[in-house]
Amino acid sequence: MRVLGIESSCDECAAAVVVDGALRGQRVASQIAIHARYGGVVPELASRDHIRKVVAVVQAALAESGLRLEDLDGLGVTAGPGLIGSLLVGVCAAKTLAWTLRKPLVGVHHLEAHLRAVYLEAPSFAYPHLGLVVSGGHTSLVRVEGVGRVRLLGRTLDDAAGEALDKVAKLLGLGYPGGVSIQRTAEGGDPQALRFPRPLPGKRLDFSFSGLKTSAAVRLKREGRPTGQALRDFAASFQEAVVDSLVKKTLLAARVEGLERVLVAGGVAANSRLREKLGAAAARQGVEVVFPSVALCGDNAAMVAALAEVYLAAGRDDGPGLDADAGLAW
């Protein structure tokens, strides 16, 4: 099956073509340069840039795949959750193409699409498994029985992990995106130099990062912004607190659910310390952990097309009534 996917949930405008489960072409137009001066995503600027870029990224993805629009068997688009203005651009573009081409269209859940990304590289990864989706806007633990069969186990009660990293990076005067800057600065730092709290200890499967972020802000207000080795130690210690929370809750959920496989997805899944520490802890517990390649961790359209392909093959068609939903639930 030949499927075009479109992703525009936040600040990445992307299109991709997947053919029989294999990525054939993809183009991502990043907005980092637009939002860097503000230290975070400005929704109005994001949606306007999607309008400017969506046609070009579709054309580029198709050109790379060697296919024409007429060759497609169907389309997929992120319907939510995300920024409503950004989502509407992608949904409107996909609906227009589907109507013009008389092709079926599927609106996919952004977080389920993240979980599907790994299947482009490890198509035999078995169900059921635990899914950890961790990004700038979301931190969730889910039990995954199959496509469309996802049960929420825990989620962040306030800030997402990536959001906490971004905000503390901004307080430290580091570059945007913050998660990448924190990781880079943490290299050579001592993760045990400073003691930050590990929120929500115990058997609860929810996350909380607001208090952790506040702890960092209070320390900076009291002691001032660090430099040199002190800055590297601060970044490493804060990153370690975030990673510890993710690792402990993930492996607790695996034990509670009796699952031996864990799939990690989302932008923060690219973090090297999370990969290292979760991989080692999971091995000690006898749990298999898989991550997508770094290129497929962030928002991309390949994951959208890959998930849409499964739904389209099952005969699903959301048609012209498809709408964007910023708060789309699991």
- Which pTM was predicted? 0.94
Q: What is the pLDDT of residues 166-220, one digit of tens each?
A: 999 999 999 888 999 999 999 999 999 999 999 888 889 999 999 999 999 999 9
For residues 228 and 219, give the distance between their C-alpha atoms in angstroms, rounded to a whole number. Answer: 17
Structural contact between residues 14 and 303, judged by C-beta atoms closer than 8 angstroms: no
Q: Tell whether 207 is covered by a domain.
A: yes
Could you list the residue range(s) of the whole structural domain that residue 112 is in? 2-116+297-321
Q: What is the pLDDT of residue 11?
A: 94
Tokens read off for 77? 């688009």
On whether both 40 and 156 belong to a single domain, the answer is: no
Q: Which helix (H) or strand (E) holds 280?
A: helix 272-285
Q: How far separated are the first and last CA of the chain, in Å rounded?
A: 26
108 is written with which tokens? 């996919």
Same domain flag for 167 and 108: no
Residue-level pLDDT at 6: 98
168 and 32 share a domain?
A: no
Are residues 109 and 78 both part of a single domain? Answer: yes
304 in the same domain as 258: no
Of the candidates 96, 119, 166, the one whose C-alpha atom is nearest the C-alpha of residue 23 is 119
pLDDT exceeds cutoff 90 at 129: yes
Is residue 250 located within the same domain as residue 142? yes
Question: Is 329 inside a domain boundary?
Answer: no
The mean of the pLDDT values for the chain is 96
The number of distinct structural domains making up the chain is 2
The backbone region for 80, taken as left when phi is positive above 0, alpha when psi lies in -120 to 50, beta otherwise, is: left
Same domain, 260 and 310: no
User: 198 in helix, strand or coil?
Assistant: coil
Looking at the structure, tell me whether residues 7 and 85 fall in a common domain: yes
Q: Do 148 and 241 reside in the same domain of the chain?
A: yes
Q: How confident is the model over 3-41, as pLDDT tens digits? A: 999 999 999 999 999 999 999 999 999 999 999 888 889
CA dist 186 and 262 (Å) reads 26
Closest of 57, 54, 60, 257 to residue 154, by C-alpha: 257
Check whether residue 67 and residue 166 sit in a common domain: no
Domain CATH number, residue 147:
3.30.420.40
pLDDT of residue 127: 97
Say yes or no: 188 and 265 in one domain.
Answer: yes
Query: And the tokens for 63?
Result: 């050109």
